[in-house]
C-alpha cells in the first residue's frame, strides 16, 4: 500500500503536466479545432475496451503484476515522442495534429491494458474495510504532487513564452513534457513494481467459462445499475469538463499560469476534503457520497454559464475561484466513492470482470461525451440566447444582461440536465450499510468548525469559515437533518454495548449507554418527527448486533435497548407508537443478524413495557400491541421459523396466544 501510494503520486504528478489544460493548449498550438480537442479528450476513454482482451490474458497467465508494470512502462514512455512532435514536424499543421492523436491513442491502449490488471491486483491487496481511507490518502499525496509539478510547469511555460515569442513557444511544452516523462513519469512503474501482488484467488465453486465470466457483471442487477450510473456520470462530467481549460484560455483570455493556478485552488480544496470523504465513505457508504458530490458537481457545471454576461466582467474571476473550490470538493468525493463502491460490489477472487465492466461503463460515457461536446461547441459557437433587463427613465435607458448563452454555455446547460438523469439511476443501487443524503449534510455541518479552521487559512477560502451551514436544515425540500443513519446508529450503539464490559450488566445500565450513544450520534435535535421510527430501528439493531460479542443475554439487551431509545428519542417526537414499532423491528432484525434468540429478544422487549409506558406517557396496552405487531412483521421478512419463535415469545410474555391474522 505504501508503494502504491508513491506510484499514485508519481503518476498524477506527471499527469498534471500532460493533463487537459496543458494538452489542450499544446494541441491548439498545433492547429487543432474543437472537435479534434474533443477526440483528444475522448481517446483515453474510448480505448478502454482493451481491458476485455487483457482479462482473457490475465485469466490464463495469472501474472497481473508483470503485465501491469510492462504496459504501464511503455505507456509512460510514449509521452517522450509526444513531446518531440514539434522537433520533427512543422507546427501548426494537420500532420502534427494527426501525430498527436495517433500517439495518444496508442498510449491510451496501453493504459487500458494496465488498468485491467492493476485494478484486480489492488482489490485483492487492500482490505475492504479501509478502502475509503486508503484511496483518500493516496489521492491526497497524488494531488499534492500534481499541484507542485503542474504549477512549476505552467510558470516555466509562461516564462519561456515571454523569452521566445511566436512559433518557438511550443518548445516550452516539449521541454516540460520531456523532463516530466523522464524524471517523474518513469518513476511510476518503478514504484508499481515494488508493490507485492497477492495470489489470484479462485472464486467459490471455481471459475466460470470465459464468456460467462465476462458477462457476469451484466447479469448482476445491482452491479448493472452501478454501470448505468457510471456511464451517465462519465458522460455528464466529460461533456463539459474537458472544455473548461479551452473556455478560459480562449473566451475568457486567461494566461496558462492563471488557468493552472485556478486548477491548484481546486486541488487544494480537493486535498482538504479527501480526508473528509474517505473516512465518511467507510462509515456511511459510498453511494450517499456519490449522490451528494455528483449533485454539487452539477451545480458547478451550471455555474460556468454565469462567468460571462455575455463577456468577462468584474465577477468573473471571483466566480471562477468559487467554482473551482466546489469542483475540487465534489471531485474528491466522486473519485473516492467511485473507486470504493466498485470494489465493494465486486466479489472477492473474481473482481477483474466486474471492475473492468465498471471501468468500461465510465470510460464509454466519458469517451463519447467530448466527441459530442466538440460538435455541440462548434454548432453553438455562432448561436446565442439572451434575456436582458431594461431600465428606462426620461433621461436614459440602461440594459442589464441578466442571462446569456452562447458556444460553450449551451454545453454546460445540457450537461447539467443530463446529470439529473445520472442522479436518478444512482437511487436504484443497493450498497450494504448505505446511509441517507441528510446524514452526510449533518455530519459536514457538525464538523464544520474543524474543517473551516483549516479552510480559513487559504486565500480565497476564508469565506467558508463564516458560512452558516446550519441554515441548510431549513431549506424547503430537505428533510429534518437528524444526523443519524443506519450505519452510524448501528455502529455507535453496537460499540456502546461492546464497551459495557462482559457479564452482569443490567437493562438499566444498557439503557443509559444506548441513550448516550444515540444522543452523541444524533446531536441536539429538536424534532425528529417522521424519522423517529428509523432512528429507533437502527439504534436497536446495533444493540442486538452486539449480542455475539458480549455476555449479556438477548433478553437483557432488548429490554435495555427499548428503554434507552425511548428515553432519548421519545423527547424529540410525538409519534411514540411509531418509535416503538421501529425499535421492535430493529430488535428482531438485529437479533437475526447476530444469530441471537428471537424468543429471548422479544421477551426482553415486552418485559420493559411498564418503564417504556411511563417514559412515553402512553398505556401499557399500546406499547404491547406496537411491539408485538412490529416484531411479527419483521419476523415475516425472515421466515416461518422466525414467525413461530416470535409468536411463542409474545404468547408467553403476555399470557395471550397469537393466532394468524
- The residue written with cell numbers 430501528 in the block is 537
What is the average pLDDT score of the chain?
A: 77
Cα-based distances in Å from 74 to 114, 140, 191, 410: 10, 26, 15, 39
Both 454 and 376 in one domain: the answer is no
Of 410, 435, 460, which residue sits at a domain end? 435
Alpha helices in 447-548 (DSSP H): 448-455, 486-498, 507-522, 532-545
H or E segment at 419? helix 408-426
> Is residue 630 situated within a structural domain?
yes
Both 103 and 14 in one domain: the answer is yes
Which pLDDT band holds residue 566 (cuts at 50, 70, 90)?
A: confident
> Is residue 205 situated within a structural domain?
no
> Is residue 207 situated within a structural domain?
no
The stretch 138-153 carries a mean pLDDT of 84
Q: Give me the pLDDT at residue 563, please.
A: 85
Which domain, by its residues, includes 469? 443-481
The stretch 36-40 carries a mean pLDDT of 84
How is residue 572 annotated by DSSP?
A: S
Is the pLDDT reported for residue 437 higher than 80?
Answer: no
The stretch 165-190 carries a mean pLDDT of 88
Is the pLDDT reported for residue 474 higher than 70?
Answer: no
> Is residue 345 situated within a structural domain?
yes
> Is residue 633 situated within a structural domain?
yes
Which residues lie across from 391 on neighbouring strands?
398
Of 481, 508, 536, which residue sits at a domain end? 481
Q: Compute the distance between CA of residue 26 and CA of residue 170 in angstroms, rounded to an integer.
A: 7
Both 402 and 450 in one domain: the answer is no
Per cent of the chain over pLDDT 90 is 8
Both 155 and 95 in one domain: the answer is yes
Both 418 and 494 in one domain: the answer is no
Both 191 and 287 in one domain: the answer is yes
Regarding pTM above 0.75, the answer is no
The stretch 534-557 carries a mean pLDDT of 75
CB atoms within 10 A of CB 187: 18
DSSP string, 301-347: HHHGGGSBSSSB-TTHHHHHHHHHHHHHHHHHHHHHHHHHHHHHHSP
Which pLDDT band holds residue 175 (cuts at 50, 70, 90)?
A: very high
> Is residue 206 situated within a structural domain?
no
Both 540 and 459 in one domain: the answer is no
Which pLDDT band holds residue 485 (cuts at 50, 70, 90)?
A: very low
Backbone angles phi, psi at 84, to 5 degrees: -90, 5
Hey, what's the cell of 550? 458480549
DSSP string, 219-284: H-HHHHHHHHHHHHHHHHHHHHGGGHHHHHHHTS---HHHHHHHHHHHHHHHHHHHHHHHHHHHHH
> Is residue 32 situated within a structural domain?
yes
Q: Give me the pLDDT at residue 402, please.
A: 61
pLDDT digits (tens, 9 = 90+) for 299-319: 888 888 888 877 788 888 999
Both 469 and 501 in one domain: the answer is no
Q: Compute the distance between CA of residue 404 and CA of residue 335 in angstroms, rounded to an integer.
A: 32
pLDDT digits (tens, 9 = 90+) for 375-432: 887 787 777 777 777 778 777 777 766 667 777 888 888 888 888 888 877 777 877 6
The stretch 164-168 carries a mean pLDDT of 77
> Is residue 208 situated within a structural domain?
no
Least confident segment among 13-17, 191-195, 390-394: 390-394
Is the pLDDT reported for residue 459 higher than 60?
Answer: no
Least confident segment among 84-98, 386-400, 455-469: 455-469
CATH number, residue 28: 1.20.1250.20
Both 236 and 268 in one domain: the answer is yes
Q: Compute the distance between CA of residue 1 and CA of residue 122 in angstroms, rounded to an integer.
A: 9
Both 253 and 339 in one domain: the answer is yes
Both 360 and 383 in one domain: the answer is yes
Q: Give me the pLDDT at residue 635, please.
A: 87
Residue 165 region by backbone torsions, left for phi larger than 0, else alpha for psi between -120 and 50, else beta: beta
Q: Compute the distance between CA of residue 525 and CA of residue 528 in angstroms, rounded to an integer.
A: 7
Least confident segment among 361-365, 429-433, 642-646: 429-433
Provide the domain count of the chain.
3
Quick one: the chain helix, strand, coil %, rounded to 5?
75, 5, 20
Q: Give me the pLDDT at residue 476, please.
A: 31
pLDDT digits (tens, 9 = 90+) for 341-352: 887 777 766 676
Q: Give me the pLDDT at residue 607, please.
A: 86
Both 574 and 547 in one domain: the answer is yes
Amino acid at each position: 500500500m505504501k508503494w502504491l501510494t508513491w506510484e499514485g503520486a508519481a503518476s498524477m504528478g506527471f499527469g498534471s503536466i500532460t493533463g487537459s489544460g496543458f494538452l489542450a493548449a499544446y494541441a491548439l498550438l498545433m492547429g487543432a479545432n474543437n472537435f479534434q480537442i474533443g477526440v483528444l479528450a475522448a481517446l483515453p476513454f474510448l480505448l478502454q475496451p482493451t481491458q476485455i482482451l487483457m482479462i482473457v490474458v490475465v485469466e490464463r497467465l495469472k501474472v497481473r503484476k508483470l503485465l501491469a508494470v510492462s504496459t504501464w512502462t511503455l505507456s509512460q514512455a510514449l509521452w517522450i515522442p509526444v513531446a518531440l512532435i514539434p522537433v520533427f514536424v512543422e507546427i501548426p499543421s494537420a500532420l502534427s495534429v494527426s501525430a498527436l492523436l495517433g500517439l495518444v491513442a496508442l498510449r491510451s491502449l496501453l493504459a487500458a491494458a494496465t488498468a485491467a490488471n492493476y485494478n484486480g491486483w489492488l482489490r485483492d491487496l487492500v482490505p475492504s474495510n479501509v478502502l475509503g481511507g486508503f484511496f483518500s490518502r493516496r489521492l491526497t499525496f497524488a494531488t499534492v504532487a500534481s499541484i507542485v509539478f503542474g504549477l512549476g510547469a505552467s510558470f516555466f511555460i509562461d516564462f519561456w513564452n515571454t523569452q521566445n515569442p511566436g512559433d518557438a513557444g511550443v518548445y516550452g511544452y516539449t521541454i516540460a513534457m520531456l523532463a516530466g516523462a523522464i524524471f517523474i513519469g518513469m518513476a511510476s512503474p518503478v514504484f508499481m513494481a515494488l508493490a507485492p501482488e497477492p495470489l489470484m484467488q479462485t472464486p467459490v465453486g471455481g471459475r466460470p467459462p470465459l464468456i460467462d465470466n465476462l458477462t457476469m457483471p451484466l447479469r448482476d442487477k445491482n452491479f448493472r445499475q452501478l454501470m448505468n450510473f457510471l456511464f451517465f456520470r462519465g458522460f455528464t462530467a466529460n461533456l463539459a469538463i474537458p472544455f473548461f481549460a479551452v473556455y478560459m484560455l480562449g473566451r475568457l483570455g486567461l494566461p496558462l499560469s492563471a488557468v493552472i493556478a485556478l486548477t491548484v485552488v481546486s486541488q487544494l480544496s480537493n486535498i482538504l476534503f479527501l480526508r473528509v470523504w474517505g473516512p465518511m465513505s467507510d462509515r456511511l457508504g459510498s453511494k450517499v457520497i456519490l449522490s451528494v458530490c455528483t449533485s454539487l458537481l452539477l451545480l458547478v457545471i451550471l455555474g460556468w454559464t454565469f462567468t460571462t454576461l455575455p463577456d468577462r466582467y468584474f465577477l468573473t474571476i471571483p466566480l471562477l475561484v468559487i467554482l473551482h473550490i466546489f469542483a475540487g470538493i465534489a471531485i474528491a468525493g466522486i473519485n473516492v466513492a467511485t473507486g470504493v463502491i466498485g470494489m465493494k460490489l465486486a466479489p472477492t477472487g473474481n473482481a477483474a470482470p466486474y471492475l473492468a465492466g465498471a471501468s468500461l461503463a465510465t470510460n464509454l460515457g466519458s469517451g463519447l461525451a467530448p466527441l459530442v461536446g466538440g460538435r455541440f461547441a462548434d454548432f453553438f459557437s455562432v448561436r446565442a440566447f439572451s434575456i436582458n433587463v431594461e431600465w428606462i427613465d426620461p433621461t436614459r435607458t440602461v440594459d442589464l444582461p441578466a442571462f446569456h448563452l452562447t458556444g460553450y454555455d449551451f454545453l454546460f446547460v445540457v450537461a447539467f440536465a443530463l446529470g439529473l438523469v445520472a442522479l436518478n439511476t444512482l437511487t436504484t443501487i443497493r450498497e450494504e450499510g448505505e446511509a441517507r443524503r441528510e446524514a452526510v449534510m449533518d455530519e459536514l455541518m457538525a464538523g464544520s468548525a474543524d474543517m473551516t479552521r483549516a479552510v480559513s487559512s487559504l486565500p480565497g477560502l476564508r469565506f467558508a469559515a463564516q458560512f452558516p451551514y446550519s441554515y441548510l436544515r431549513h431549506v424547503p425540500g430537505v428533510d429534518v437533518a437528524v444526523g443519524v443513519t443506519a450505519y452510524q446508529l448501528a455502529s455507535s450503539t453496537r460499540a456502546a454495548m461492546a464497551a459495557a464490559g462482559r457479564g452482569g450488566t443490567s437493562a438499566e445500565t444498557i439503557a443509559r449507554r444506548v441513550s448516550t450513544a444515540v444522543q452523541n450520534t444524533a446531536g441536539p435535535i429538536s424534532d425528529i418527527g417522521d424519522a423517529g421510527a428509523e432512528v429507533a430501528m437502527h439504534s436497536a439493531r446495533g444493540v442486538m448486533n452486539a449480542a455475539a460479542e458480549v455476555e449479556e443475554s438477548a433478553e437483557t439487551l432488548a429490554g435495555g435497548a427499548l428503554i434507552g431509545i425511548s428515553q432519548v428519542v421519545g423527547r424529540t417526537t410525538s409519534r411514540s407508537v411509531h418509535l416503538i414499532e421501529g425499535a421492535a423491528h430493529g430488535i428482531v432484525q438485529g437479533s437475526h443478524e447476530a444469530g441471537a434468540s428471537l424468543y429471548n429478544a422479544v421477551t426482553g422487549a415486552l418485559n420493559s413495557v411498564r418503564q417504556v409506558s411511563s417514559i412515553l406517557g402512553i398505556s401499557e396496552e399500546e406499547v404491547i400491541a406496537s411491539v408485538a405487531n412490529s416484531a411479527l412483521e419483521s419476523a415475516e421478512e425472515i421466515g416461518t421459523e422466525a414467525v413461530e419463535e416470535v409468536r411463542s415469545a409474545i404468547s408467553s410474555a403476555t399470557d395471550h396466544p397469537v393466532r394468524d391474522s
